[in-house]
Amino acid sequence: MAVIAHKAAVLGKPIAHSLSPVLHNAAYEALGLDDWHYGREEVGVDDLDAFLHGLDPTWRGLSLTMPLKRAIIPYGTPQDKWVKLLGVANTAVFEWQMQNTAHPELPAIRLYNTDVYGIYQVLLRGIRNRNNTRSALIIGNGNTAHSAFAALSMLKVRNITIAARHSEKSAPFIKLGTELHVDTTLAKLEGVFADMSSYDFVVSTVPAHVPDPYVGGLRTDGRPLGTLLDVVYDPRPTALMQAWSDNGGTAIGGQEMLLQQAIPQVAYMTSTSTDEIAAQAENHMREALNDAL
């Protein structure tokens, strides 16, 4: 057995459910990185500072879950526009040869948001008509919804509706839309299922069964449905995905989003290009994930 010389992990509290180790370790296997290992560490916001100060140079990177995606920001330097704009980073990469100006006792920490990239890649691959990507619906108004909004803006979607049970909490999307040059509409969740065919993309960011009471009212008016991404991966398929497929739409589950956001994470931590990870490891990562689900 190879001696582990390079370590990485996903942090959260709780964290036992995370599938990130499955994806990252499958990538290491496919890439022949026998001395790399990726684990889980139960770390809350109050534990983060002590955890970071307890690391040694064998540590190459971390994946962060909420609320650590926000808590990590003061410790590092944003490397992409989405960390800066959304104020969240799901990836931290250590540069032990460089000093951390904000925390001199720590190495330099590069911060990335690969959540946006993951959603973007899934939707890009799922486009049914590349000349028709004008409008989108996001179900939910939490952190994943913000990443979905950013990803849709990368696809040049210029009209996005945010539908949520508590639409009064969706106001921050108006400001985000202004910054990204997107016309933003706020709506109640129960009112959007009667006209789903008017959207080129739908991204559901809510827990598994939240849309269930409404899927019976899904109407298409005889027009084709666009592409649905439901970020849930248990159950597979969700009731929303099943109804979408039954009405002729393209439905994609959350496991593909997990995979696509993990590819750049592996790339950043191992100093490998995303193209190389995709070419050499993506299929093996997908197989490992499907086996784990």
Structural domain range at position 200 = 129-248
Cα–Cα distance for residue pair 247/224, rounded to 1 Å: 8
- Whether residue 222 is predicted with pLDDT greater than 80 in this model: the reply is no
Q: What is the CATH number of the domain that holds 222?
A: 3.40.50.720
| Total structural domains within the chain | 2
d(CA 10, CA 265): 11
Tokens 């990507």 correspond to 133
Give the model's pLDDT for residue 168. 86
In this structure, are 141 and 187 located in the same domain?
Answer: yes
Q: Specify the pLDDT at position 190.
A: 87
The pLDDT assigned to 217 comes to 83
More confident residue, 130 or 149: 149
| Whole-Å CA distances, 220 to 143, 161, 195, 205 | 29, 17, 6, 21
Clarify whether residues 284 and 224 are in a common domain.
Answer: no
Q: What is the DSSP letter of 77?
A: E
What mean pLDDT is reported for the chain? 95
91 in Cβ contact with 112 (< 8 Å): yes
pTM attached to this predicted model: 0.95
Neighbours of 211 (CB within 10 A): 24
Task: Assess whether 269 and 244 both reside in one domain.
Answer: no
Q: Using CB atoms within 10 Å of the CB of residue 49, give its burial: 0 to 12 exposed, 13 to 18 middle, 19+ buried.
A: middle
pLDDT tens digits along 128-146: 665 666 999 999 999 999 9
Residue 267 domain-assigned (yes or no): yes
How confident is the model over 13-70, as pLDDT tens digits? 999 999 999 999 999 999 999 999 999 999 999 999 999 999 999 999 999 999 999 9
Same domain, yes or no: 134 and 242: yes
pLDDT at 219 over 80: no
pLDDT at residue 272 greater than cutoff 80: yes
pLDDT band at 127 (very low <50, low <70, confident <90, very high): confident
Dihedral of the alpha carbons of 68, 70, 72, 77, in degrees to the nearest 10: 150
Do residue 135 and residue 232 come from a single domain? yes
| CA–CA distance, 23 with 233 (Å, rounded to integer) | 14
What is the distance between the alpha carbons of residues 68 and 89, in angstroms, rounded to a whole number?
8
Alpha-carbon distance 119 to 275, whole Å? 17
CATH of the domain at 32: 3.40.50.10860
* Residue 273 and residue 236 share a domain: no
pLDDT score, position 154: 97
Kindly state whether residue 256 falls inside one of the protein's structural domains: no
pLDDT of residue 223: 79
Residue 187 has pLDDT above 80, yes or no: yes
Please check whether residue 109 lies inside any domain of the structure: yes
Report, as an integer, the average pLDDT of 174-203: 94
* 100 and 168 assigned to the same domain: no
105 in the same domain as 11: yes
One DSSP character per residue, 217-240 reads G---TTSPP-EEEE---SSSS-HH
Question: Has residue 287 been placed in a domain?
Answer: yes
Provide the pLDDT for residue 129: 62
Q: Does residue 217 form part of some domain?
A: yes
Which of the four pLDDT bands, split at 50, 70 and 90, describes residue 1? low
> Do both 266 and 243 map to the same domain?
no
